[in-house]
Chain A
Amino acid sequence: MTHLGSTTDILNMERLVDTVQKLSLARNLETIMQIVRSAARKLTGADGATFVLREGDLCYYADEEAISPLWKGSRFPMNTCISGWVMLNKKPAVIEDIYKDDRIPADAYRPTFVKSLAMVPIRTLEPIGAIGNYWANYRMPTMKEVATLQALADITAVSLENVEVRIQLEEKLEERKLMIEQLERQKEQLEEFTHIIAHNIRAPLSNLLFLNNMLKESASIEKKLLYLEKQKPVIDFLNDTFEEVVDAIQVKTDFNVQREYLDMENQLQFVISYLQGEILEAKATITYDFSKVRKVFFPPKYLESIFMNLLSNALRYCSPKRLPEIHVRSYLKDGWVCFEIKDNGLGINLANHGEQVFKLHKTFHEHPKAKGFGLFITKTQVEAVGGSISLKSIPDEGSIFTLRLFKNR
């Protein structure tokens, strides 16, 4: 006849298996401690259980579950407390009467219910912590109880290591994610510059080639002179384009651009005074509200350029049907300092031009001063410091540019 063990043994076995399953799902230290402290108490029927972690030369009583408070949150030197002894000696401590054992700092125990205890190390080879069981009466913890407790501690060690590996993996994954994001941004930039070369540099270049062809093929001296003269504006345009691209590259590669806390209202007032001529000419009304948020941590040269470009655009592309009304405001959203400029101007048909708006040399209205640079460099500047720009627009009603400038912590 085989010995099946007592009902308590079977119950304990079930509890241990259940604990193993729960621990296998635990993803962090807190969950592990919560599972272990409650399992430790239930497995032995103790009046209290503690979860101790080694922190260098200290024992940190990280968690507990007991009939009345023990030492949760406290730290004791390794050589003055029993969990320290367990970890240093790499073996369990089993004590029937704590007041008769000189390994116990009696003063620390006097305020508690504890009369006897059993303590086992977590990861016996090189302990990283300990699990304690406490009883309110004098009793000798049985071999079985200590063995069960040690089994629990061994499982706990495995779970802790799993969590550690998992955390390391997650950190690596996060690192990789950031790297991929950066690569994607760089790929986008590369595509953008390829686009600029294919379109913006190529356009004046093809005109120069064209002129050169005509120069060669034309028979009359007058015509040749005319073609020679025509080269000047094309060369100037090519040079302008080149300088614009250089500006953009400088913004994109200036990782250490100086940022300051800037007063957006002052900055806007400066830009308004600078554009006073245009404002008077357009009979424009400009209102602003910086009551929600006034300061932004931003590169001064970019902020001035951004305000200048957006405001002069709003003035330039006003509707001939009504006097321009421009409203500027700032606000906080999702931790971002946002800046918004709203006009009642011509607007842009975003269904047709949506993706084009911020590209170099893209213009949408037949305006003699339209160059297609302002919004391109604005986007470049905002994105270079981690922000973003977006546009809502209805043709013949107006536009709203919204900028996320800076994320507040």
Chain B
Amino acid sequence: MEKLNTLCIIEDNDVTQFLLQQMVEETQMVKQVKLCSNGLRAIEYLRALQDQPELLPEMILLDLAMPVMDGWRFLEEYRKIKPQLGKSITIYIVTSSIDPADVQKAKTVSEVADFIVKPVTKSRFLDLVRELKRVV
């Protein structure tokens, strides 16, 4: 199976960051992981690469509860810059929230491919990569 070039993880909790990174590494399906500790950092990162679409991530794992800019606000901001990004990015919400209101809200955001409740297992992540490669 073809590997992902870049995966972006937007997550404020450093333990979760570390674990997601470890999990992804163990699958050996991602060449490079970019960590952003909140939505604002991620928007800045995406903006900086808007003229080099080949460097932009193919997939984003997005946490919801974060300081400075949370996942929902990131999605609003992302929608604004999306036309300038020369690449279609698949976004998954990865959250520990089991609040039905969050799931419901995620369904209304067209930019979100799916809503995944933590923890993300290796096999689940491999499914996501497979799905992405199939669509592309």
Q: Interface residues, chain A, CB within 8 Å of chain B? A: 195, 198-199, 202-203, 205-207, 209-211, 213-214, 217-218, 223, 227, 230, 233-234, 352, 361-366, 370
In chain B, residues 46-104, which have Cβ atoms closer than 8 Å to a Cβ of chain A?
Answer: 65, 67-68, 73, 96-99
What is B's interface to A at a CB cutoff of 8 Å?
13, 15-16, 18-19, 22-23, 26, 37-38, 65, 67-68, 73, 96-99, 117-122
Known: A199-B96, A233-B15. A207 touches B119 (CB 8 A): yes
Q: Which A residues lie within 8 Å of B67 (CB)?
A: 362-366, 370
Q: Taking A198-B97, A202-B98 as contacts, is the C-beta distance between A366 and B38 under 8 angstroms?
A: yes
Q: A217-B26, A364-B67, A370-B67 are in contact. Are A199 and B15 (CB under 8 A)?
A: no
Given the interface pairs A366-B67, A366-B68, the reply to whether A211 lies near B99 with Cβ below 8 Å is: no
Report 29 cross-chain contacts, Cβ distance below 8 Å, ordered by A residue: A195-B99, A198-B97, A198-B99, A199-B96, A199-B97, A199-B99, A202-B97, A203-B13, A205-B96, A206-B96, A206-B117, A206-B119, A207-B13, A207-B19, A207-B119, A209-B119, A210-B16, A210-B19, A210-B23, A211-B19, A223-B22, A230-B15, A234-B15, A362-B65, A362-B67, A364-B67, A365-B68, A366-B37, A366-B68
Given contacts A207-B15, A211-B19, A230-B18, contact A217 B65 (CB under 8 A): no
Nearest CB to that of A210 among chain B residues? B119
Q: What B residues does A214 contact at CB under 8 A?
A: 19, 22-23, 26
Closest to B41 in A: A366
Q: In the complex, what distance in Å separates the CA atom of A207 from the CA atom of B16?
A: 6
**Residues in B neighbouring A210, C-beta threshold 8 A:** 16, 19, 23, 118-120
Complex CA–CA separation, A177 to B13 (angstroms): 44
Give the distance to chain A from B29, nearest Cβ to Cβ, in Å: 14
A contact residues around B98 at 8 Å (CB): 198, 202
Bound CA–CA A362/B19 (angstroms): 22
CB nearest to A195 among chain B residues: B99
B13 touches A199 (CB 8 A): no
Residues of A within 8 A of B120 (CB): 210
B22 touches A203 (CB 8 A): no
CB distance from B68 to the nearest CB of A (A): 6
Cα distance A213–B16 when bound, in Å? Answer: 13
In angstroms, how far is the closest chain A Cβ from the Cβ of B10? 14
Closest to A217 in B: B122
Complex contact B121–A213 (CB within 8 A): yes
